[in-house]
Chain A
């Protein structure tokens, strides 16, 4: 579903990604981990079509990003650590805005559906700036799933959430993944990344330094592997 070949990106003279190769099969949940500054967000932004690579190729759903950006955007749902929501509008108005931006014909039905799915149906007429961080993240996921994308990209979605909110987010993530969607999630949390995903990958010094199926590793082994790599 996502194919990344020899991806490189530099900011000015600073190389951030140096030849990334990564594949995510349809329906797979991949957790991407790595130390700060490793380039995880940069990689995600490139896959999300928000940034262009210097060299290399990215395909989503068989469509090359360079040539089929619009079509790819239809397939993508992105949740970053900023909620991408407008505080002065209600939850419903935010979703209606995005429904129009994505050209959804069955907007009303979809809006109700996603609000139910994230558990915010009762707050639909509340202004988003009154929402807690956890609620904003849930609304952000609602926004991202509005157009029923086949691929979801998450950039450290648990940032700033307390335990309860994080647990609720995990539930939502599992249901999102269960719906057959392909997921690429960036996270700092080793245990959580391992628990939620089908496969883990570690990005270090601009390259994919390690990959493995999540069920082949215990949390302890994974932690050792991670720190061994990062502190080498």
Chain B
């Protein structure tokens, strides 16, 4: 039961990219002047947040596709993507907290991005709990698809709602907000390391997704095989 050739190549590539990005982040990128070593968290913090958002966007799309076509494969992608999204969002929140402590002297702030990430995390935990709480598999898929759409729609609205409050989150990519503290400028090498880690994490997401979808497919085949003796009479 080996994964097929393309998947194996992808897995190896992803592993290599991760190793390479480690080098980029810890060696290639220079040490930031104001924040020091802890700033390196940034490279993975943002990448994790990006993957979290991407995973949920994918879930939105396949949820709509599932409702439209009733094809189970879309649902497999949905649940796999949510699981991976939850993991990466957890990483995002945790790394954000680790970064915040030495910089702003607090483990937690209720600023828009961090709060939105937390709400997003709660939404998808709720998604998984909904699936868990439903016994009928067909209903599970249908309800999860609806919730996936609803949940994704609420995320930008959450972000806007929280932004009605003030923020202290560093606005890294191009903002002139004078109220935002903790900014830093990126040098060329930092930029390279940053985009490289974004790319690495995206590939990592695709790899994990593929593995997880494959697992889901195998699991359902096993379930079918297990059920067979019951109705072969």
Interface residues of chain A, those whose CB is within 8 Å of chain B, are: 11-15, 205
On whether the beta carbons of B233 and A12 are closer than 8 Å, the reply is no
On whether the beta carbons of A12 and B231 are closer than 8 Å, the reply is no
On whether the beta carbons of A13 and B227 are closer than 8 Å, the reply is yes
| Number of chain B residues close to chain A: CB under 8 A | 9
B230 within 8 A of A: yes
Q: Which residues of A contact B233 (CB under 8 A)?
A: 205
Q: Which residue of B lies closest to A12 (CB)?
A: B137
Q: Shortest beta-carbon distance, A199 to chain B, in Å?
A: 27
Q: Shortest beta-carbon distance, A146 to chain B, in Å?
A: 31
Q: Shortest beta-carbon distance, A35 to chain B, in Å?
A: 14
Q: Could you name 14 residue pairs across A and B whose Cβ atoms are closer than 8 Å?
A: A11-B136, A11-B138, A12-B136, A12-B137, A12-B138, A13-B137, A13-B223, A13-B224, A13-B227, A14-B227, A14-B230, A14-B231, A15-B231, A205-B233
CA distance A13 to B223 in the complex (A): 8
Number of A-B contacts (CB under 8 A): 14
Q: Which residue of B lies closest to A206 (CB)?
A: B231
Q: Which residues of A contact B136 (CB under 8 A)?
A: 11-12
Most A CB contacts (10 A, CB to CB) among B136, B138, B224, B233 go to B138
Most A CB contacts (10 A, CB to CB) among B223, B227, B231 go to B231
CA distance A205 to B232 in the complex (A): 11
Most B CB contacts (10 A, CB to CB) among A13, A14, A15, A205 go to A13
Q: Which residue of A lies closest to B227 (CB)?
A: A13
Q: Which residue of B lies closest to A54 (CB)?
A: B138
Q: Which residues of B contact A11 (CB under 8 A)?
A: 136, 138
Task: Encode contact with A along B191-233: 1 for CB under 8 Å, 0 otherwise.
Answer: 0000000000000000000000000000000011001001101
Q: Which residues of B contact A15 (CB under 8 A)?
A: 231
4 more contacts with CB within 8 A, not counting A11-B136, A13-B227, are A12-B137, A13-B224, A14-B227, A14-B230
CA distance A15 to B233 in the complex (A): 12
Q: Shortest beta-carbon distance, B152 to chain A, in Å?
A: 27
Q: Which residue of A lies closest to B228 (CB)?
A: A13
CA distance A15 to B231 in the complex (A): 8
Q: Shortest beta-carbon distance, A13 to chain B, in Å?
A: 4
Q: Shortest beta-carbon distance, B67 to chain A, in Å?
A: 14
Q: Which residues of B contact A14 (CB under 8 A)?
A: 227, 230-231
CA distance A206 to B223 in the complex (A): 21
Q: Which residues of B contact A205 (CB under 8 A)?
A: 233
Q: Which residues of B contact A13 (CB under 8 A)?
A: 137, 223-224, 227
Q: Shortest beta-carbon distance, B179 to chain A, in Å?
A: 54
Q: Which residues of A contact B231 (CB under 8 A)?
A: 14-15
CA distance A15 to B230 in the complex (A): 10
- The 10 A-B pairs of least Cβ separation, nearest first, read A13-B227, A12-B137, A15-B231, A13-B223, A13-B224, A11-B136, A12-B136, A205-B233, A14-B227, A12-B138
